[in-house]
């Protein structure tokens, strides 16, 4: 049944993606509910991101290495994100066996990513999008209300990444499955950051859209 639901979701996304091409995804949404993420059949943007050691790298170049499960997460400070990455570890070897690499992008600095690498055994490649270019390009960025920004700072000592207008930006948690040509084959985006797809769903989607040998 889940496989049929996946097929239906993929088909629907393919139908609406054509009309969505005209949307300007470079604009940060005013709230999470209004993000306009890339859909199936669209091409991932060629933007510069940074590895955990601070080295700049082309995201497109990374995607061309092999089929990719690309995760956008809020940061290592977010318990829901940490729980999601921990759950995805259970399918890590299955994804590798299917020929995939796993990249996880957050707006945190490379320095913060280094500490996250020490805290996880999951062989995911952590990517810094401190410039917000990937978050903009994939259409998942939204502005965080000032009261929420202050709450995170006061209670968790979290300094959110800001854009040129000094407004704090976060990505709506998302998963994109992308082929080596840079084409989105599957996407899952939920403005409710407490809701994440199960590892089982991610693995099923990866198998369903796996490029034919």
As a whole number of Å, the CA-based R_g of the chain is 16
pLDDT higher than 50, residue 7: no
In whole angstroms, what is the distance from residue 127 CA to residue 102 CA?
Answer: 11
Report pTM: 0.87
User: Domains of the chain by range and CATH?
Assistant: 2-208 (3.40.30.10)
The CA distance from 163 to 166, in Å, is 5
pLDDT bracket for residue 212 (50, 70, 90)? confident
Q: Token pair for residue 173? A: 């948690």
Tens digit of each residue's pLDDT (9 = 90 or more) over 93-130: 999 999 999 999 999 999 988 877 655 566 789 999 99
Question: Is pLDDT at 37 greater than 60 in this prediction?
Answer: yes
Average per-residue pLDDT for the chain: 88
Whole-number pLDDT of residue 114: 80
CB atoms inside a 10 Å sphere around CB 171: 29
């Amino acid at each position: 049944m889940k496989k049929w639901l996946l097929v239906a979701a993929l088909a629907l996304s393919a139908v609406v993606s054509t009309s969505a091409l005209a949307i300007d995804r470079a604009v940060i949404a005013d709230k999470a509910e209004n993000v306009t993420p890339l859909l199936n059949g669209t091409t991932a943007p060629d933007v510069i991101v940074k590895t955990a050691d601070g080295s700049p790298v082309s995201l497109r170049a990374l995607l061309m290495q092999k089929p990719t499960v690309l995760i956008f997460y809020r940061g290592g400070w977010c318990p829901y994100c940490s729980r999601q990455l921990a759950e995805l570890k259970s399918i890590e070897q299955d994804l590798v066996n299917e020929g995939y690499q796993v990249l996880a992008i957050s707006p945190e600095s490379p320095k913060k990513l280094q500490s996250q690498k020490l805290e996880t055994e999951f062989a995911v490649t952590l990517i810094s999008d401190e410039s917000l270019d990937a978050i903009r390009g994939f259409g998942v960025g939204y502005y965080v209300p000032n009261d929420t920004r202050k709450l995170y700072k006061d209670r968790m000592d979290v300094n959110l990444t800001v854009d040129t207008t000094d407004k704090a930006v976060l990505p709506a948690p998302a998963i994109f499955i992308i082929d080596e040509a840079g084409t989105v084959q599957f996407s899952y985006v939920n403005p409710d950051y407490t809701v994440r797809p199960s590892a089982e769903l991610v693995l099923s989607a990866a198998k369903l859209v796996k490029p034919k040998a």
